[in-house]
Amino acid sequence: MAKYRTDLKDISFNLFKDLKVQEHTQDYGENDLKDIIIQFDKFAENEVYSCRVEGDEVGVKLTEDRGVVVPESFKKATKQYYENGWFALGYPEEIGGMPAPHSVSFACTSIYVGANCALSMYSGLSQGAMNVILQVGSDEQKAKFIAPMMEGRWGGTMCLTEPGAGSDVGASKTTASPNDDGTYSVKGVKIFISSGESDIYENNIHLVLARTPGSEEGTKGLSLFIVPRSQVNEDGSVGEYNNVKCTKIEEKMGIHGSATCELTFGGEGDCRGWLIGKEHEGIVNMFIMMNEARLLCGIQGESQANLAYELTEQYAKERSQFNKEIINHPDVKRMLLKMRAMSRGMRSLILYTSNLFDVEKTGDKLAEKELALLTPVCKAYCTDEAFQVTVDAIQVHGGYGYCTEYGIEQFARDTKIATIYEGTNGIQALDFVMRKILKDKGETFMALGAKIQESLANPIASKWKNECASLATSMQKAQTILEHYGKYANDKNFDAILASSTDFLAFCGNLIVAWRLLRGAIVAEELLAQGDEDKVYLESKALDFKIFCQHYLSRNAGIAQSILNFDQDWTTVEL
């Protein structure tokens, strides 16, 4: 049976050799940051991964007397997660945090999510809710909610989706009526609320989008409210029940250990909430949490793909067929090399993107725009491709992969949801093309393109002429596609753009990940020239780049032809 294993060497290479994130902090040296990741990985192996299967098999239960009940091992692991200070990683000391570069914090998050996606969602949603309170909450709200959430006594969620509305957040019917004491009475039903309720926390702090009296239709009329499961007393203790009830738990394909809830607010009495931020700015404030959640979705894909690869590689080295280990069969080796190249490529993209949070603090004006540009790519590309990696993992395991014995099929079931929630991948593509590229006339996209050109111009890149030529061609085709989109935009034919936006996001994902792997190969060659002794690993970086170009970047030729050479007149056809 394959053992839990994280490619710490690749994480360290990306962080400290390529991105040089140690330069973003004066609190820790490089070895200190490496030790944080090593220690977290040990925690993930012993406490997080160990209850992954139980969470899948036992799942969560909605009971009359105890509400939503999770597996006991989940409560134990979460308690230790907070007590060991891992939730505090990356937060400032003044709120009880442990400052560290965002990329290091995100590397640990990746390990956590990969080891047990369902478990990680409870603290992950709490973190997102707390971040909104930190950024736009009043001093009183911060004083009331931050400390117990940091300590792990209280959790948090975000509540957007409603029955019948789906992805159309602006169709929300939940209401918030003002009271004389400054509170609001919240009434409505929210569905698909991840980690919506559980017995992990003594109180859950819900961030709820609702419409105040007289507000206009659509997202512009929405405001954001803090609505706790139980009211909070003046001394900060948990008070009376606030009429927030879990009325249903969804039975799902995967992430069985995460309670996906229907929550009814004010269905059995008055439900009180507090406005956070300004009235009618709810969607703007909620997007503080949404954008982070979308990046976390990308991590959900990347992390599970990487762990699935590690387990599958071990299996292929142990499993013998036709008198030799199956890893030595060319077709199996092809699948494994493709899995590794894609998984490592996604890791490089995720860590590069998370590093932009710290680059932004240095005064780099492009970093914020680049972060916004890459977020939908991380979310959509990494989740789509990660799902395929997990499917390939099942294929390598053969019949055992289709069975539950090796736990591989769970990766596919747990990963698929990430392509759907926090804005479907189709919505990410719309955002990427319309808002992140066309809206700023391609300025940020071209600035990223300049970085790619810089890597292509590096003398070391000449070692891989065919691959770099393919990358350069993709850059040229991207420019041609954007000019093509510009003509549609001038004609106000936006449906023709949206019809291929998913394809273009995939095109750009292939392009950007190929660049990240090229960058890794260049850094690896520089280290080899300096006499670095880790020859086998460093040489694998060039192979990752070559394999990725052969099997993934090569797809861009077909995508470009599909977008440029075929009319989108089918958008007017009735089905």
Exposure letters 13-45 (e unless 16+ CB within 10 A, then b): bbbbbbbebbebbeebeeeebbebbeebbebbb
CATH of domain 8-136: 1.10.540.10
Task: Return the pLDDT at 269.
Answer: 94
**H or E stretch covering 534:** none
CA distances from 437 to 140, 373, 430, 432, 487 (A): 39, 8, 10, 6, 14
- Mean pLDDT (whole number) for 363-376: 93
Domain residue extents for the chain: 8-136, 155-283, 429-568
- In this model, does residue 203 exceed pLDDT 70? yes
As beta bridge partners, residue 156 has: 205
The Cα–Cα gap between 382 and 369 comes to 20
Mean pLDDT of the chain: 95
For the stretch 49-82, pLDDT in tens is 999 999 999 999 999 888 999 999 999 999 999 9
Separation of alpha carbons 183 and 167, rounded Å: 28
Has 443 been annotated as catalytic? Answer: no
CATH code: domain 155-283 is 2.40.110.20
Beta carbons of 506 and 461 less than 8 angstroms apart: no
Q: What is the pLDDT of residue 365?
A: 85
Q: What is the mean pLDDT of residues 381-409?
A: 97
Task: Give the pLDDT score at 562.
Answer: 96
Residue with the larger pLDDT of the pair 490 and 228? 228
Q: Are 246 and 206 in contact (CB under 8 A)?
A: no
**pLDDT bracket for residue 166 (50, 70, 90):** low
How much is the pTM? 0.95
Annotated catalytic residue, options 292, 422, 467, 525: 422
Pairing of strands 203-211, 154-159: parallel
